[in-house]
Amino acid sequence: QLTSLWFCFSKAHVCLILSLLSKSMSKPCVLFPQVLNRRCVEAAVMTGLALNCTINKKSLFDRKHYFYADLPAGYQITQQRVPIAVNGSLSYSLCVDNKMSQMVTKTVRIKQIQLEQDSGKSLHDDARSQTLVDLNRAGVGLMEVVMEPDMCCGEEAAAAVRELQLILQTLGSSQAIMAEGQLRVDANISVHHPGEPYGVRTEVKNINSMRFLAKAVDYEIQRQIKELENGGTVLNETRAFDSKLGCTVPMRDKEGKQDYRFMPEPNLPPLILYDAKSLPANVNHQQVVNIDWIHERLPDLPSVKRAKLVELYGILPEHSFTLVNEDGLTEFFEDVVKQTQMKPKKVIGWILSDLLSHLKQHSLTAKESPISSFLLADLLNLLENGDISSSAAKQVFEELWKGEGKTPLEIVKEKQLELIKDQEELEQICQAVIDEREKEVMAIKEGNEKVINKLIGLVRKATRGRANPLLVKQILEKKLSE
């Protein structure tokens, strides 16, 4: 919901610049300065196609000159004039409430994708008041994705980046693990009155997690609004997000426009790409990149996977969203469905409500779960066949989570959790409950049928949850009508 601060400046615009380093781009001297790495180009083309970009058959490399401690050469190779891909779009979904009951789909435009040369990494040691520079990644290839200012809050920014991360991982363009520096985000943020031009923007550099991205954007929006409402001005500056303080802090001023003295890169000629129509005859295919060949080999993107899950298993769209967004959860779900007699719509409840909550609580992925898909399927089969109750199944699940190597059936027998199927035994227990609860029996006979639920609960308590509630209800109703 919008706070009171938003009423004056209800328009906020967020532009994201994402830097991506993949394993194929992290080998020494893979992209610059001498030879262009074919794999880097293919990864950029594949990413551009997945993001609905126009791939430029001719792109150019430039030198961007500036002097900074993490750039010992004094210049960076980039694509300032003609990047490899332009004018794309990324559709992403986010929930409109915390219960994931309704999803909305939005689109952010992709301005361009460019190949660059990475710089070093500055390591700030506050305790010793010094900065160290790690040059191990300086000079290796980097892919930068530049988004248009189409997002208006931190939640949208994080959702868009998460969708892009899934796409990159699906393509194999990058592992895109933010904690390992394989995906970094620069967020450009500005606010303005509706109908007025964009305000002065600030750039929050090198954000390394989705959660911090959302917090940094939302904080910066509110900071700028408060600054303008108090009669101040927003400076065009570079800021950093302090995760400990939960706020952005100034890094350096951008008010004076820096002259980067761009010039064509003398060591790298124009990058020429081909499609099926323009591919020369008798060409060495190892020496060219064929756009159509890459397009034909694009895997199913996350949006397609979600649609297939809904169609194949009849689950809700928001459930498919969660399955695809969580690492390895789709495969886990499908493995369980293949091994159990339970319908997918019921399986999904166990996957999302029980398994996923435990995984998140212990910061694990589905692949790291102590409960395998085989064990969960065995448990659900016991439940589906009527061998145990749903409450007993929950107990078995908790025991399985301990990872002691026991099967669901072994746990059921050890804990004596089997449902009582002996009709005569159940009738005796029900009769004993009726005899002890004259007040409740009288209320039921006077027309208060809801009280029977209390008797059912007492029977289940007496049997330690081993009684089928439907069967118990039938027995009680029969006895009370006599």
What CATH number does residue 440 fall under? 1.10.10.410
CA nearest neighbour of 74 among 260, 351, 278: 260
Beta strand ranges found along 118-262 (DSSP E):
121-125, 130-134, 141-147, 183-192, 202-207, 237-242, 247-253
* Total domains present in the chain: 3
Residue 304 host element (H or E): helix 302-313
Give CA–CA dist 474/54, Å, rounded: 67
Please classify residue 385 by burial: count the beta carbons closer than 10 Å to its beta carbon, then call 0-12 exposed, 13-18 middle and 19+ buried: exposed
| 87/226 same-domain check | yes
Longest CA span, the chain? 99
| 17/45 same-domain check | yes
Domain boundary among 383, 415, 447: 415
Give CA–CA dist 132/151, Å, rounded: 35
| Ramachandran bin of 39, using left for φ above 0, alpha for ψ from -120 to 50, beta for the remaining angles | alpha
pLDDT at position 10: 39
Token pair of 335 as six digits: 């493995």
| 103/175 same-domain check | yes
pLDDT at position 423: 75
204-256 pLDDT per residue, tens: 998 999 999 999 999 999 999 999 999 999 999 999 999 989 999 998 766 55
List, in sequence order, the alpha helices (H) in 257-301. Answer: 291-296
| 456/397 same-domain check | no
Give CA–CA dist 429/287, Å, rounded: 81
Residue 358 lies in a domain: yes
In this structure, which amino acid lies at residue 83? P
Domain boundary among 374, 399, 415: 415
| 216/322 same-domain check | no
Do 202 and 224 contact (CB within 8 A), yes or no?
yes
Question: Domain span at residue 200?
Answer: 4-272
Our CA angle for 171, 173, 179, nearest 5°, is 110
Do 132 and 69 contact (CB within 8 A), yes or no?
no
Residue 198 lies in a domain: yes
| 224/361 same-domain check | no
CA atoms 403, 409, 414, 420: torsion sign: positive
C-alpha 177, offset from chain centre: 11
Our CA angle for 166, 168, 171, nearest 5°, is 110
Task: Give the chain's length.
Answer: 482
Residue 224 lies in a domain: yes
| 42/22 same-domain check | yes
Residue 286 lies in a domain: no
Residue 280 lies in a domain: no
Residue 425 host element (H or E): helix 423-436
pLDDT at position 341: 92
In this structure, which amino acid lies at residue 372? S
| b/e map 10-35, b = 16+ CB within 10 Å | eebbbbbbbbbbbebbbeeebbbeee
Token pair of 305 as six digits: 């996977």
Domain boundary among 368, 390, 415: 415
Q: Which 3 state secondary structure label does DSSP give 16?
A: strand
Beta strand ranges found along 182-321 (DSSP E):
183-192, 202-207, 237-242, 247-253, 263-264, 271-272
pLDDT at position 21: 66
Please classify residue 469 by burial: count the beta carbons closer than 10 Å to its beta carbon, then call 0-12 exposed, 13-18 middle and 19+ buried: middle
Give CA–CA dist 480/433, Å, rounded: 12
Q: Which 3 state secondary structure label does DSSP give 365?
A: coil
CA nearest neighbour of 322 among 304, 346, 306, 337: 306
Residue 293 lies in a domain: no
Asked, as a colleague might, if the bond just before 299 is cis with ω within 30 of 0, I would say no
Give CA–CA dist 297/21, Å, rounded: 22
The answer to whether the pTM exceeds 0.85 is no
| 459/411 same-domain check | no
Torsion of CA 130, 135, 139, 144, to 10 degrees: -60
Residue linked to tokens 């610049």:
17
Token pair of 434 as six digits: 């009726």
| 393/432 same-domain check | no
- Weakly modelled stretches of the chain, pLDDT under 70: 1-13, 21-34, 97-101, 253-257, 482
Residue 287 lies in a domain: no
pLDDT at position 27: 45
| 330/371 same-domain check | yes
pLDDT at position 227: 94
Residue 296 lies in a domain: no
| 208/318 same-domain check | no
Give 416's Cβ-side CA count (13 Å radius): 3
Do 200 and 237 contact (CB within 8 A), yes or no?
no
| 344/197 same-domain check | no
